[in-house]
Each structure stands twice: as C-alpha cells, then as structure tokens.
Structure 1
C-alpha cells in the first residue's frame, strides 16, 4: 500500500493529462505549451530552488557514478546490438535503440517520483545525478551519431556545447551549482517567484506527459518498442541495483536513488534525438509510450525491492 500510495498520484496525473487530451478538453497546442513551460521554467526553478536550499549537502563516492552509468552502458550496448539485428536499421538507428534503452525520463517522472520516495535524503544524490546525466548521456549520443558523418572533432564538440548551452535544465544546474558553491540563496520576492514556479513543476510535468502520449502510435513498432521498454525498465535498473547494493559501498538512499532513476521509463530526449536525425522516430516514440504505461506497474515492484513500499 505504501508503494501504491506513492505511485497512484503520480501516474494518476499522467492519466488525467492523457484523458483530457484524448477527450479534447485540452488541445495538442495546450499540451505542447505546458511541456515547454515545464522544461523552460518550472523544472529549472525547482532545480535552482533545491540546490540553493540551506542544509542540502552530501558527498558522492565514485561508486555511485559507476553504478548508475555502468548500468546505462550495459543497457545501451545490449539495445544497440539488438537494434542492429532488425532489418533496415542502420548504425544511427541502432545507436538510438541503445540510447532509448538507457535514457531515463528524469524531468517528467524521475524527479517527482524520487523526491516522493526518498524526500530530503534523496534530494542531493538525485540532483547531482541529474546534473551529470543530461550532458553525459546526450553528449555521448550526439557524439556517436555525429561521428558517422566524418565531421572533425572540434565541430562535433562545438555542436554539443551549443546544444547544452541552450538547454534550460543544464543552465539551471550550472546556476544552482554556482550559487550553492558561493553560498548565495534567494530571499524575499525573488525567492517567492522561484518557489512559485518550482511548486508547479511536478503536477504540470505529469499532466504534460500524459497529454503528449496521445500523439504516439504503437502498433507498427510495438515489437521493437517492447524490447526497448523491457531493457529500460528491467535490465537497466537490475544492473544498477546489483552494482549499487552488492558491489560498491554507499548510503542506502543513494543506492536507492540510482536504482529508481534507472527504473524510470524512456526519456523524451530519445525521441527528440530520433526526430532530429530522422531515424527510428516511430519505434522510439512507441517505446516512450509503452515504457511509461508499463512503469506504473514496474515501479511498484522496484519500490518494494528497495523497501520503500
């Protein structure tokens, strides 16, 4: 019941957004606008507010990073190898198969889920992982895809830097980290504004995610999407769990955060990359939908394994 108490409000809001969009209560344009608001304002405000909160501190051992990204590397490799076996999937498509199998939905599901499950004990490792996850995963995917075109290393690194510099989440992590390092924090009206935006992040993110699910079609790409979803919801968190709890040493909350982070469904960034490079859009979009729906059940299982249910 504890696990269900955590899960139902979160995925319930996803269902509300999906039904509102499906019934025409909110239009596709409203859903897109809400997604832009969450990505550009609400979640960045939540990140800055959390990172500058007094008392938020901790130390991250290298085993924490090795556990999470070791699991991501295994899921990415297996996903890419399986993708290469499909007829008509070329190298870039196989890279995207692997990326989707290892790229977690951190903004729309991961942040509200993990903060609900671990509270203050999980806030520091969550946002530290979020800070590294975005540039490392997006950077690796972009670098691997761009390398196929034979572009010089300098051009590829410049393109990656521009992508990150324009990403509000990455900018918020840099600003929040700099303010924390310098001991600065908001007060008065600026604090009220930031807190007001941050307070809308979780609800708006989940509604926007649900509204966006109506545009995905899964029947044509269902078999491949099912494989990617299974790797994302099963293999990725399983490897992270094994490394975090049985190989490396770290606080239980840190190991739990890493495992839950890995157990999140396929992230929307995988679809954005597929659309950008015009390859495997259908399969990746279907994997986003299938994994998001399946995560409502698999997350309950992981919460019980982790002792949060």
Structure 2
C-alpha cells in the first residue's frame, strides 16, 4: 500500500494534466509556461532549499557513481546496437536511441517520486546524482553526435560549458553545493521565498509533463519506442540494482535512490537533443510517451523490489 500511495498521486497528477490539455482546459502556452517556471524557478528553489537544509548529511561514494552510470552505459550501448541493426538509422540516430534508453526524466518525475519514497535519507544522494547526471549524460551525447564534425575539441567544450552555465538546474546545483560547503543556511524572508517556490515544484512539474504529452504521437514508430521504453524501464534499473546491491558496497538508501532514478521514464532532454539535430525526433517523442504511460506499473514493481511497499 505504501508503494501505491507513492505512485497514485504522482502519475495521477500527470494524467490530470494530460486530460486537461486534451479537453482544452490547458493550452500549449500554459504547458510551455509551466515547464519554463519549473525549470527556471521552482526546481532550482527546491534544490537550493534541500541542499542547504540543516542536518542534511551524506557521503560521496565512488561505488554510487559506478553503479548508476555503469547501468546507464549498458542500456545506452544496447540501445545503440539495436538501432544500428535497423534499416535507415544512421550513426547519429543510433546514438540518440541509446541516449533515450539511458536518460532519465529526473526533474518532472524523478525528484517527486524519489523524495516521496525515501524522504530525507534520499535527498542528499538524489541531488548529488542530479548534479552529475545532467552534464555527464548531455556532454557524452553531444560529443558522440558531433564526433565527426569539423569543430575543434576546444570549440565543442566551450559550447557545452555555455549550455550548462545557462541551465537553471545546473546553476542551482552549483549554488546549493557551494552554500552547503560554506555552511550558509538561508533564513527569514529568503527562506520563506525558497520554501514557497519549492512547495510548487512537484505539482507544477507533473502537470506540465502531463499537458505536454498531448503533443507526442505513439504511432510514429511504436515498435521502436517500445524497445527504448523496455530498455529504460527494465534493463537500466535492473543493471543498476544488480551493481548497487550485489556488486558494490554503499548505504541502502543510496542503492535504492540510484535504482529508482534509473527506473524513471525517458527524459525530455532526449527529445530536445533529437529536435536539435533533426534526427529520430518522432521515435524519441514516442518513446517519451510510451515510457511515461508504462512507468506507473514498472515504478510500482521497483518500489516493491526496493522494499518501499
């Protein structure tokens, strides 16, 4: 029952957002505005507020990184290999298939789900992983896609740095970690503002995701999207679970957070990257939708496996 009470509100809000968009109660402009608000203000406030909270402690374990990104690398490699064997998919398309199979929806689904499941004990490992996940995954995908381009390595590094420095989530993680290191704890009106914005993050993120799903089309390439969803929702978390619980040694909450982080549906960043390079856009969009629709059932199963039931 505990697992059900975690899943129902989260994916129920997504469903309500989708239904409101289909019924015309929420326009595309509202969905876009909510998404921008979540990325630019609400989630950054949640990150800073959580990382600077008194009593939030945790360790940085290398095994934690190896477990999560080892599973992500396996899912990425298999997704790319499967795509290469399909007719008409080039090198860039294969990279995007692999990226979609290993890129988790962290902001819209991952943060609210993991905080609900693990609470305070999961907050530090969650945001620690979030801090590394965004630049590492996006950086690897960008470098692999542009490996045969005519731009120099220094030019590509500069471009990636500019992208990260303009990303509010990355900036908030950097600011929060710096404030944590300096033992700066917001108080008074500043804390009230941070708390007010933080309280809106989960609901607005889930509504924005649900409303945005109306734009995606499943029938574009249903078999391909199903394969990516299967890799993302089953293989990725399974590999991380095996590494975190049976190969490496780490606190149980860290292992659980890594597994649940991996169990999230395909992230929106995969679609944005496909749109940027104008390749496999329809399939990646379909994989976002298919994986999000299947995620309530697979997430429930993983919560039971992790003992959160």
Instruction: Please classify the TM superposition score into its range, dividing by the shorter chain length.
Output: over 0.9
- How far residue 60 of structure 1 moved from its aligned partner, in angstroms, is 2.0
Partners of 1:9 and 1:60 in 2: CA distance: 31
- How far residue 129 of structure 1 moved from its aligned partner, in angstroms, is 0.4
Tell me what 2:190 maps to.
190
Tell me what 2:109 maps to.
109
Q: How does 1:38-53 map to 2 (within 5 A)?
A: 38-53=38-53
Partners of 1:58 and 1:132 in 2: CA distance: 16
Tell me what 1:255 maps to.
255
Tell me what 2:216 maps to.
216
Taking structure 1 as the reference length, the TM-score comes to 0.99
| Deviation digits for residues 179-198 of structure 1 (CA, Å, limit 9, x no counterpart) | 00011121111111111111
Tell me what 2:16 maps to.
16
Partners of 2:4 and 2:59 in 1: CA distance: 31
- How far residue 251 of structure 1 moved from its aligned partner, in angstroms, is 0.9
Establish whether residue 55 from structure 1 lines up as the match of residue 69 from structure 2.
no
Tell me what 2:36 maps to.
36
- How far residue 177 of structure 1 moved from its aligned partner, in angstroms, is 0.5
Partners of 1:171 and 1:67 in 2: CA distance: 25
Partners of 2:4 and 2:159 in 1: CA distance: 43
Q: CA RMSD in A?
A: 0.6
Tell me what 1:82 maps to.
82
- How far residue 147 of structure 1 moved from its aligned partner, in angstroms, is 1.3
| Deviation digits for residues 55-114 of structure 1 (CA, Å, limit 9, x no counterpart) | 111112111100000000000000011111121111111000000000000000000000
Establish whether residue 266 from structure 1 lines up as the match of residue 302 from structure 2.
no
- In structure 1, stretches of 5+ residues that fail to align are none
Greater shift, 295-304 or 138-147, is seen at: 138-147
SS at match of 2:103: coil
Q: How does 1:156-305 map to 2 (within 5 A)?
A: 156-305=156-305
Greater shift, 40-49 or 148-157, is seen at: 148-157
- In structure 2, stretches of 5+ residues that fail to align are none
Partners of 2:94 and 2:41 in 1: CA distance: 33
Partners of 2:19 and 2:58 in 1: CA distance: 41
Tell me what 1:122 maps to.
122
Partners of 2:33 and 2:205 in 1: CA distance: 11
- How far residue 150 of structure 1 moved from its aligned partner, in angstroms, is 3.2
- How far residue 218 of structure 1 moved from its aligned partner, in angstroms, is 1.1
Partners of 1:146 and 1:197 in 2: CA distance: 37
Partners of 2:36 and 2:220 in 1: CA distance: 28
- Deviation above 3 Å: which 4+ runs of structure 1? none
Tell me what 1:73 maps to.
73
